[in-house]
Structure 1
Amino acid sequence: MKSKLFDYVERDNLVFHLSGVTKLICFICLTFSVMFSYDIRVILSVMILSLIFFKVSGLEWKQIKLMVIYVIVFLLINFVLTFIFSPQYGVEIYGTKHEIYRFNSRYTITLEQLLYQITKLTKYASVVPLGLIFLLTTNPSELAASMNRIGLNYKAAYALSLTLRYFPDLIRNYQDISLAQQSRGLDLSKKEKLGVRIKNIMNICVPLIFSTLDRIELISNAMDLRGFGKHKKRTWYASKRLKRQDYIAILIAVFVLVGSICISVFINRSRFYNPFI
């Protein structure tokens, strides 16, 4: 079965009807509100909001499966390494120490360290649905038009659009080359040793790289022949006008961002929420 990772599939729902500019602004505002604050209440609120929009978007599991697995592995490794290298950082931040279990004088599990690490984990986890919604519900051509409308040079915007368009093609090319090589006797199963499998994968990557370079040259020549980059500005076929639903979504995102900053500055008097005082 062909991978659907990074594939854009049009659907008839609220999230897909929003303009690319709207989704870009919402993504920036909500991401910054999470990154700025270490208040777990704010972060969980943004996470719940992003999960609701993720559910409304109707994205399929096969589109995000591989990415979610990588994110979970990254979060677990980050959680463990944070404790290994900074086991008392939570104590330093919150200024108190409530021990739960002591391994030795250096490694002690405390409520403060758990709160810090769980907050840090939820920060990363809450951004993932936002990124997936933004990437998988925005037409690459419209994304380029949206980024150009907010001031990004259209050449850079178009380059990003081409990159997002090429990810699904790259995965499909890898699968096609892999199947062709396996039909010729290349073994990628667990029956082979790890070193042999890595070597066999490299035998797939080499033709994949050359086919990618050929495709890049083909696209570059086609763009040059059509005069791409000759003028300082360009028009966009996929650009959308902002509608009422776009303004409402932007207002919600800005409200969340302002609320996050106000809670940190005026209520917590710090980026960190301290329930131990």
Structure 2
Amino acid sequence: MKSKLFDYVEKDNIIYNLSGFTKLICFVCYTFAVMFSYDIRCIIGVAVLSVIFFRMSEIKFSQVRTMIIYVFVFLLLNFVLTFLFSPTYGTEIYGTEHVIFPILGRYVVTQEQLLYQLTKLLKYAATVPMGMLFLLTTNPSEFAASINRIGISYKGAFALSLTLRYFPDLIRDYGDISLAQQSRGLDLSKKEKLGTRIKNIMNICIPLIFSTLDRIELISNAMDLRGFGKKKKRTWYAAKPLKAGDWVAIVLAVIVFAITVMISVFINKSRFWNPFI
């Protein structure tokens, strides 16, 4: 398995050249804007920005293909289960009921429920590209240096850096162990029954856990031998100063968040946009 999922690959473009601190602030602002508001107009606007930034980053589809498949399945399940367990929640929120067509008993498709579920689906769809951008375009060491510079403990910053670095290593180890087990006759194909495949996957997870524990011990010993944590401060090789592009990105993210909050508070008088009144 040579997947590039969660792996950082250095590139030279406007998104990659932003500071890790800038990307964190932008990710938080855009996420809060989407999570705070249930106005589908605002969410679509943020989703469009997410797609534009994603295209600007020049990330290859092969890097995110697996993630997109999982997200699509999650969104589909979420959409179906929301209707199964709360088929009238939209009418309760908006206070009206415009029936499109009945199904059975309390399961009635209404415009209100459809708007609520589409809004909810778009909230996830607008956030995921930003998360992908943050993970795939941020150098872990530079990100740790950036958040340490604003006052976060360098121990916590270093822990975040190690976490970001660990994702691609974990996926790589899983692929290596999976290939090794399959060469020994472990079948993970669709020819096997679902229960057998799950059991075989567990046979991969067990050595993966032990290899992870070995790596943790190895890194901990290496950090102790180098005196990590002895001093209150440290210098960073990958530190990157904030430039004009960083300030533009931060201001844009704050403006988007502020506009979303103002529309909800002053125009809609609620987190929900109600076109049915």
**Structures share a fold, TM > 0.5?**
yes
3-state DSSP of counterpart to 1:249: helix
Consecutive unaligned residues of structure 1, counting only runs of 5 or more, are none
Give the equivalent residue in structure 2 for 1:205.
Answer: 205
What residue number does 2:232 align with? 232
- Secondary structure at 1:108's aligned position in 2? strand
Give the Cα separation in 2 of the matches to 1:106 and 1:50. 37
- Give deviations 1:40-81, integer Å, cap 9, x for gaps: 110000000010000000111121111111111111111111
Offset from partner CA, 1:257-277 (integer Å, 9 cap, x none)? 110111111111111111111
Q: Who is 2:25 aligned against?
A: 25
Matched, 1:219 2:213: no
- The answer to whether the aligner puts 1:41 opposite 2:41 as a matched pair is yes
The percentage of aligned residue pairs carrying the same residue is 73
Deviations 1:65-98 (A, max 9, x none): 1111111111111111111111111111111111
Moved more, 67-76 or 176-185: 176-185
Which amino acid counterpart does residue 168 of structure 2 have in structure 1? P
Number of the residue aligned with 1:174: 174
Distance 2:260 2:141 in 1: 32
Q: Counterparts of 1:156 and 1:187 in 2: how far apart (Å)?
A: 41
Whole-Å separation in 1 of the counterparts to 2:217 and 2:98: 61
SS of residue paired to 2:100: strand
Q: For 1:175-219, what per-residue CA distance to the aligned partner results, in whole angstroms no more than 9, with x for missing partners?
A: 222222222222222223333323322222222221111111010
Match of 2:59 in 1: 59
SS of the residue 2:236 aligns to = coil
Residue correspondences, number: 277
Q: 1:152 — aligned with what?
A: 152
- Cα distance between partner residues in 2 of 1:206 and 1:100: 50
Higher mean C-alpha deviation, range 54-63 or range 103-112: 103-112
The corresponding residue for 1:113 is 113
Q: In terms of mean alpha carbon deviation, does 90-99 or 227-236 score higher?
A: 227-236
Tell me the C-alpha RMSD between the 2 structures.
1.3
Residue identity in the other structure for 2:11: R
Residues 32 and 236 (structure 1), Cα distance of their counterparts in 2 relative to 1, 3 Å cut: same
Moved more, 160-169 or 36-45: 160-169
How far apart are 1:105 and its partner, in Å? 4.1
3-state SS of paired residue (1:45): helix
Task: Pick which of 29-38 and 194-203 moved more.
Answer: 194-203
SS at match of 1:101: strand
Gaps of 5+ in 2: none
SS at match of 2:16: helix
1:87 is paired with a residue whose SS is: coil
Q: How much has 1:155 moved relative to structure 2?
A: 1.4
- Residue matched to 2:194: 194
Please give the secondary structure, in 2, of the residue aligned with 1:152: coil
Specify the SS of the correspondent of 1:15. coil
**Corresponding residue number in structure 2 for 1:129:** 129
In structure 1, the residue corresponding to 2:15 is in which secondary structure? Answer: helix
Report what 2:262 is aligned to: 262
Q: TM-score, normalised by structure 1?
A: 0.96
**Do structure 1's residue 138 and structure 2's residue 135 form an aligned pair?**
no
How far has the Cα of 1:153 moved from its partner?
A: 2.2
